[in-house]
């Protein structure tokens, strides 16, 4: 499998079909690098190492597709010069001028695939993280649409030893950790070796919020246009405003200057 790097973090150059095949490998950690995660890793060396120990690294965002192609230019000045034209071209054609990462795989979309795969293969799933009833409601939602899904359990415990104990006790095959970045990857990294029953552990960010109905998902048109960020800004302006500025402005500039 081909890999590239943005800001020193591995990203798999992979399509959804190939990513699904990797699920049958023994014991994999799945992370979904997005601009926010990559920026965090720039200031946090330990976090970068945690990410780079991931087995499946899904590119979660159009910015990664665009930047991976721009980073083929070794000159930082040329990268900067071509950033704007590349962005315009990308907006019209929906693909960069040279393909490095063949497609975006959103974490929440891959979580859907993973759950269908779990139902098919008889693997049990543990829903961990978020607040209140979000993890429970996510489990209920998936049980409804996948009646044969084996539910190992759910917990809204903080990412600590209690959460670890709950997952350990459940004997789950698949762990979905929804603590956002960097907590979910740190949790998976810290406890994965002590959970030998896990065949897959994945950090799923805010996905539970969508599936539980806690937060409304972007309509299909926003998805198609690559404007999920705009949708999030509309529904959560306070929470998202600063993050979106970082993803759209700070991330491309840092990626251009600080990536090899
Ligand atoms: N979250 C949590 N504990 C924390 C921080 C976040 O359970 O200490 C949950 C939060 O409720 C949300 C999820 O982590 O369901 C992801 O949060 P965020 O919105 O930051 O992630 P994104 O959607 O950007 O991936």
Q: What would the pLDDT profile of 203-240 be if each residue is shown by its tens digit?
A: 999 999 999 999 888 888 888 887 888 888 888 888 88
The answer to whether 198 and 29 are in contact (CB under 8 A) is no
- The percent of residues in the chain predicted with pLDDT above 90, rounded, is 82
Distance 77 CA to ligand 1 centre (A): 36
Residue 179, ligand 1, Cβ within 6 A: yes
Distance 131 CA to ligand 1 centre (A): 9
Q: Which atom of ligand 1 is nearest to the CA of 207?
A: 23
Q: Give CA separation, 216 vs 39, 206, 236, in Å.
A: 26, 11, 10
Residue 127, ligand 1, Cβ within 6 A: no
Predicted local distance difference test score (pLDDT) of residue 98 = 80
CA pair distance 187, 164, nearest whole angstrom: 9
CA pair distance 258, 249, nearest whole angstrom: 14
Give the dihedral sign, CA 140/145/151/156. Answer: negative
Per-residue pLDDT, averaged over 187-210, amounts to 97
The answer to whether 228 and 209 are in contact (CB under 8 A) is no
Residue 163, ligand 1, Cβ within 6 A: no
Predicted local distance difference test score (pLDDT) of residue 66 = 94
CA pair distance 61, 228, nearest whole angstrom: 9
Distance 237 CA to ligand 1 centre (A): 16
């Amino acid at each position: 499998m081909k890999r590239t790097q943005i800001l020193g973090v591995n990203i798999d150059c992979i399509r959804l079909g190939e990513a699904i095949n990797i699920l049958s490998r023994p014991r994999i950690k799945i992370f979904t690098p997005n601009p926010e995660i990559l920026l965090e890793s720039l200031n946090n060396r330990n976090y970068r190492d945690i990410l780079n120990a991931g087995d499946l690294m899904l590119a979660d965002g159009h910015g990664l597709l665009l930047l991976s192609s721009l980073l083929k230019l070794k000159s930082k000045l040329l990268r900067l010069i071509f950033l704007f034209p590349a962005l315009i071209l990308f907006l019209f054609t929906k693909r960069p001028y040279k393909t490095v990462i063949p497609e975006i795989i959103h974490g929440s979309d891959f979580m859907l695939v993973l759950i269908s795969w779990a139902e098919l293969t008889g693997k049990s799933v543990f829903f961990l993280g978020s607040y209140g009833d979000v993890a429970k409601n996510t489990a209920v939602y998936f049980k409804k649409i996948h009646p044969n899904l084996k539910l190992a359990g759910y917990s809204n415990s903080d990412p600590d030893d209690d959460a670890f104990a709950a997952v350990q006790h459940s004997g789950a095959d698949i762990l979905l950790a929804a603590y956002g970045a960097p907590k979910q990857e740190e949790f998976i990294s810290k406890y994965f070796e002590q959970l030998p029953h896990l065949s897959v552990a994945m950090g799923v960010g805010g996905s539970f919020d969508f599936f539980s109905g806690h937060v409304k998902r972007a309509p299909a048109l926003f998805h198609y246009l690559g404007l999920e960020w705009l949708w999030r800004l509309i529904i959560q302006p306070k929470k998202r405003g600063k993050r979106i500025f970082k993803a759209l402005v700070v991330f491309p500039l840092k990626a251009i200057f600080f990536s090899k």
